[in-house]
Amino acid sequence: MLWDRKKIKSILPQREPFLFIDQVIEIEGVEKVVAVTQLSGDESFFKGHFPHKPVMPGVLLIEAMAQASIILYSIAKPKVVSTNPDYYLGKVKSEFLAPVYPGDKIVVESNAVKILDNAAITDVVAKVNDKIVAKANLVFSIQKK
């Protein structure tokens, strides 16, 4: 593990129950970050989505991908991140390829397409047991407070 939850919380503004990154396990320069989310099965969203067949909502997979992308952004742009900016997801192109169930360990790989001071694009894949469960291209803006 390269980053633990404490280090992750020093970068991500999200907090439980909306923090979807547990560990960062790989960093390749400013190009790629690999992060992990371990689902316990006790997450509140599983209670309603769905009562008899719990499946992780796709929008929350996108959120996990966005959080991994913020971590990648923080490595590429530490000076901007040190100002504690706001992050706004602007555009998402996504595909969901397989369901994610309680207990799954999600590995999220975020790859830089273009990172600037005020905006970034990443290509992200989420995998469970080495199988791709979702892909997304994210465009987000970074705004200093």
Nearer to other proteins, 100 or 115 (CB): 115
Residue 52 a catalytic site member: no
CA contacts within 13 A on the Cβ side of 66:
25
Give the binding range for other proteins (CB under 8 A) out of 17-25, 33-41, 109-117, 128-136: 109-117
Taking a C-beta distance cutoff of 8 angstroms, is the pair 108, 71 a contact?
no
**Dihedral (Cα; 52, 16, 143, 59), 10-degree rounding:** -10
From candidates 90, 99, 102, 103, binder to other proteins by CB under 8 A? 90
In the region spanning residues 12 to 71, those forming contacts with other proteins, defined by CB under 8 A, are: none
According to the binding rule CB under 8 A, does residue 111 interact with other proteins? no
Q: Does 86 bind other proteins (CB under 8 A)?
A: no
Instruction: Select which of 7, 9, 32, 49 is catalytic.
Output: 49
Please select the residue that binds other proteins; options are 17, 41, 59, 91, rule is CB under 8 A.
91
How many Å apart are CA 68 and CA 32, to the nearest integer?
10
Helix (H) / strand (E) containing 59: helix 58-76
If one counts every other C-beta atom within 10 angstroms of the C-beta of residue 64, the result is 24
Binding site for other proteins (CB under 8 A): 90-91, 113-114, 116-121, 139-141
